[in-house]
Amino acid sequence: MNGQISINGHGDVIKGEPWFEDGNILLVTKEIPTGYRVHQGVLSRHSEIFSHMLEMPQPTHSADLFEGCQIITLYDLPGELANLILALYDGPTFLNRNIGDFFYLAGILRLASKYFIAHLRRQAIQFLGITWPSTLEGHDVMIEAALTVRPVDNLTYPFVHPLHVLNLANEVDAPILIPSAIYFLSIYPLVDFIKGDHPKLLVEHPSRPSASLLSSDLLSYSLMYQHRLQLMDDFMHQFCKQHGSKPACGVSTACEKGFSRLVTQLQRIWNLKSGPLHFIAQAMQKVSSCSICSKCCSKFVHDCGDLRQRIWDELPMLLNLPTWQEMSRS
């Protein structure tokens, strides 16, 4: 809705959308003064903060009213507040088509956390958890999408930098998102995001989370980076070697050579940005082409599955966080 209105004490205010003519509350943002005329009952029903705020004695002086509506000044970004209000009335539209969808969600999650709007906060965190998952199965789906989804605006899936996700999770106290965010952040060399010139960090938007790495997160990043490289080294030179030296079939020579060939193949695809979970999954696919008997292949694939699950389960503990199950219940 276009146009301006004049409000005592606020001067000229942009008439924002939504604007309900029968609304009885006027929310006005301090920065870029914008007004939203809404219904007290809707705000009180969904938000503990608004409910308590609106329980206070109502103003009677005309300077504190606009067409009979109580005026409430908020220190929020107009775009974020508008999206929050529309989400309260119509429900949110969470998608992952481009980086703009992340910024839309970030704004709603930020204000839903600030104003104690539990259902919107829960929905936003659950949607983020599809891309930054708390399960190994979710991780595998995310990796498959990253390998197959085409770039959008020259940004690869999942379009947003994990540093933005990490800082948003810290900002709104959503620890369940942190292990995945730091795991994927550890794939980036430290110099990349210290310089801050990665294309995903350069996208400007009012709702963009901080692009700076907290000192406490620097330690977590360093631990994850070293852990990630150590896992792959141990996998190639201990896990695979052990399966070759002690084959399930009991016939050492042929299968031992086969596992040596597997390690050689893995060394060719290994690089500093390899993630151990996907790397081990690749080994599970390659083992059958290395002249290893079916019994040894089956044992290797089974043990790899157990190893991947164990690695996943231990990620939160590496960062001194509660278990995945404990965080999902909080």
User: Residue range 296-304: average pLDDT?
Assistant: 97
Q: What count of residues does the chain have?
A: 330
Q: Are 7 and 13 in contact (CB under 8 A)?
A: yes
Does residue 58 or residue 216 have the better pLDDT? 216
Lowest mean pLDDT among 50-54, 159-163, 276-280: 50-54
The pLDDT score that the predictor gives to residue 57 is 65
pLDDT over 60 at 59, yes or no = no
- Strand 34-38 with 65-66, pairing: unpaired
What pLDDT, in 10s, does the model give residues 106-145?
A: 999 999 999 999 999 999 999 999 999 999 999 999 999 9
The pLDDT score that the predictor gives to residue 251 is 79
What pLDDT, in 10s, does the model give residues 66-100?
A: 888 989 999 999 999 999 999 999 999 999 999 99
Euclidean distance between CA atoms 174 and 330, whole angstroms: 9
Ranges of each domain in the chain: 4-77, 100-213, 228-318
Type of residue at 217: D
Give the pLDDT band of residue 146 (cuts 50, 70, 90): very high
The pLDDT score that the predictor gives to residue 54 is 82
The pLDDT score that the predictor gives to residue 39 is 96
What pLDDT, in 10s, does the model give residues 218-275?
A: 999 999 999 999 999 999 999 999 999 999 998 778 999 999 999 999 999 999 899 9
Angle between helices 215-234 and 276-286 (to 10 degrees): 20
The pLDDT score that the predictor gives to residue 9 is 75
> Cβ neighbours of residue 188 under 8 Å, at least 6 residues apart?
162, 198, 273
Q: Tell me the percentage of the chain whose pLDDT exceeds 70.
A: 97
Give the pLDDT band of residue 40 (cuts 50, 70, 90): very high
